[in-house]
Amino acid sequence: MSGASTSGDWDYIVVGAGSAGCVLANRLSEDPRVRVLVLEAGGSDAHPYVRAPVGFLKTFQDPRFNWCYTTEPGPGVDGRAIFFPRGKVLGGSSSINGHLYVRGQARDFDTWAQMGNRGWSYDDVLPYFRRAEDRSTGADDFHGTGGPLHVSDIHERHPVCEAFIAGAEEAGVPRNPDYNGAVQEGVGYYQRTIRNGRRHSAATGFLHPVRGRRNLRVETDAHVLRVVLEDGRAAGVTWRRHGRVEHATAAAEVILAAGAVNSPHLLQLSGIGPAARLRDLGIPVAHDLPGVGEGLQDHYAVRVVHRVIGSATLNERAQGLRLWWEVARWLATGGGLLAFSPAHVGAFARSRPELELPDLQFVFTPASYTDGVVGQLQREPGMTLGVWQMRPESRGHVRARSADPDQPPAIQPNYLADETDRRAIVDGLRWGRRLLASPALEPYRGPETLPGPAARSDDELLAYARAKGATVYHAIGTCRMGADPDAVVGPDLRVRGLEGLRVVDASVMPTMVSANTNAATLMIAEKAADMIREARRGTAGRRVEGSTAATGVPAS
């Protein structure tokens, strides 16, 4: 490692060019007088695996694009350590995810506000969802057009998908053409962050169009080592790039947008977190904040799988000469197999009729995968229905293992620790079987391969869930927003007890949204950008001593 260098003064330093970081880079640099530095540990997203929607099968375990974390062994999952991917590339997890655009229920955000987070109710956040969006079907009361993020409908409707939707209606789940609209409950095709057959990540929508701004610098392969504190204020950051340690100062704020794993880990490495635990690791305590890294939540999914008869599925289209034809088709038209997201149809249902709102989310695709081999389609035609409880009660943690920034943190989601979660996952499997047993699917339904006919009782279904379930990659809550003493950030997303430091990513969510988390993360960053700009207007004319924030772009 070579000696340290200083990379100049900035107004804002954003750590992480993932979903939230890309939004912040775009919005904060709109003012040409404001200088923004973005530091991303990963590299470029200019790769076919990132651009092709089906490329998520390749990026899932590729360390070029992925932190490739693994959870701690969990008692609720038969002592298994579960692979836990997180994006490490421009666009972050929005560059490796499954493209699904799902916001959640209005009640999710109203609950945030009722927990003391004023300004975060559904009525407060809906304008930010709309501002970010470029909906292919046009604008209405719930959707926007002209925003940076393109949201489209599926390009090809498979007959097995049509039969699944008809069968869900037979089972009492109403058809719903817009689960992001007035009501979430129902069944319909997923909305996706795909444009003209290409992934439309946060980097594609928010970052790349503004990379040429003179007041914005984006550094890739920049692994941030710690936040530098001076007199209770975040003064800057230190990072390592190609073996060289560099440092930059922030006249206004340091903003952590590194995600629900890396943001709390970086805080802990910087001496911000539970004091006793930090001392045990040999990390000097800069600010005792017990909630840092606590409260991790994630969605935990299980699958019901059948063979398919009477129709080809995606399995056959991914083999031999047919696959090369699909590649050529995608290159020429943006259509075909390579333009699919991993799930085609979604359903939102109540596990029990007495519930007021849906608590189960389903993902259906006319394909099946080799058990234990991530992303490998089976040779025989199949269909898969995944299910998870949308608002789990189980909570875990993200904790530094040592003071070494190169050692990954301990990630413990505590899947299925709570009885409510165990009951819901069993109910979800029973619902899944019911949906796949519909008369409408009869012409296509072959034998069940998972969980398999032998699993009938609640105990047997729970045992299957413990043995075969996996993450849905929706980590949240480790820098929780709130007004209570255990919260890490306040409703303004400032780290409690410190100046000049905010967290803006999924880690601030106080409870899980009833959805995939990317849409809500983009919304959080949109709202945060407004709060940050408003705070700057409130301090107009003032500058940190020694800052050159009002003049030009700093030298390299």
Render the burial of 162-186: b for 16+ CB within 10 Å, e for the rest: ebbbbbbeebebeebebbbeeebeb
pLDDT score of 56:
86
Catalytic residue among 150, 265, 306, 474: 474
The pLDDT profile of the chain, 556 residues, written as one tens digit per residue, is 334 455 668 999 999 999 999 999 999 999 999 999 999 999 999 999 999 999 988 898 899 999 999 999 999 999 999 999 999 999 999 999 999 999 999 999 999 999 999 999 999 999 999 999 999 999 999 999 999 999 999 988 999 999 999 999 999 999 999 999 999 999 999 999 999 999 999 999 999 999 999 999 999 999 999 999 999 999 999 999 999 999 999 999 999 999 999 999 999 999 999 999 999 999 999 999 999 999 999 999 999 999 999 998 998 888 888 888 988 988 998 998 888 888 999 999 999 999 999 999 999 999 998 875 556 788 899 999 999 999 999 999 999 999 999 999 999 999 999 999 999 999 999 999 999 999 999 999 999 999 999 999 999 999 999 999 999 999 999 999 999 999 999 999 999 999 999 999 999 999 999 999 999 999 999 999 999 999 998 865 333 333 333 223 333 2
Identify the three-state secondary structure at position 89.
strand
To 10 degrees, the CA torsion angle through 315, 320, 324, 327? Answer: 20
For domain 155-189+300-389+414-474, give its CATH number from 3.40.640.10, 3.30.410.40, 3.30.565.10, 3.40.50.10490. Answer: 3.30.410.40
The CATH architecture annotation of domain 1-72+89-148+199-297+395-411+476-541 reads 3-Layer(bba) Sandwich (3.50)
Q: How far apart are CA 181 and CA 144, in angstroms?
A: 12
305, 167 contact by CB (below 8 A) = no
DSSP 33-64: TS-EEEE-SSB---SHHHHSGGGHHHHTT-TT
Our CA angle for 528, 388, 130, nearest 5°, is 30
The answer to whether 1-72+89-148+199-297+395-411+476-541 and 155-189+300-389+414-474 have equal CATH topology is no
- Report the half-sphere exposure of 463 (CA within 13 A, side-chain side): 8
Annotated active-site residue 474? The verdict is yes
- Rounded to two decimals, the pTM is 0.94
Residue 545 to residues 288, 494, 542: CA-CA distances in angstroms?
Answer: 27, 21, 9
Cα separation, 58 vs 96, in Å, equals 9
The pLDDT value given to residue 374:
58
- Residue 535 exposed, middle or buried by CB count within 10 Å (0-12, 13-18, 19+): middle
Per residue in 117-152, is it b (16+ CB within 10 Å) or e — as a string? beebbbebbbebbbbbbbbeeeeeeebbeebbbbbb
* Domain definitions of the chain by residue range: 1-72+89-148+199-297+395-411+476-541, 155-189+300-389+414-474
Q: Which long-range contacts (CB under 8 A, 24 or more apart) does 349-354 make?
A: 349/173, 349/185, 349/431, 350/185, 351/389, 351/423, 351/424, 351/427, 351/428, 351/431, 352/427
What is the rounded end-to-end Cα distance, in angstroms, of the chain?
19
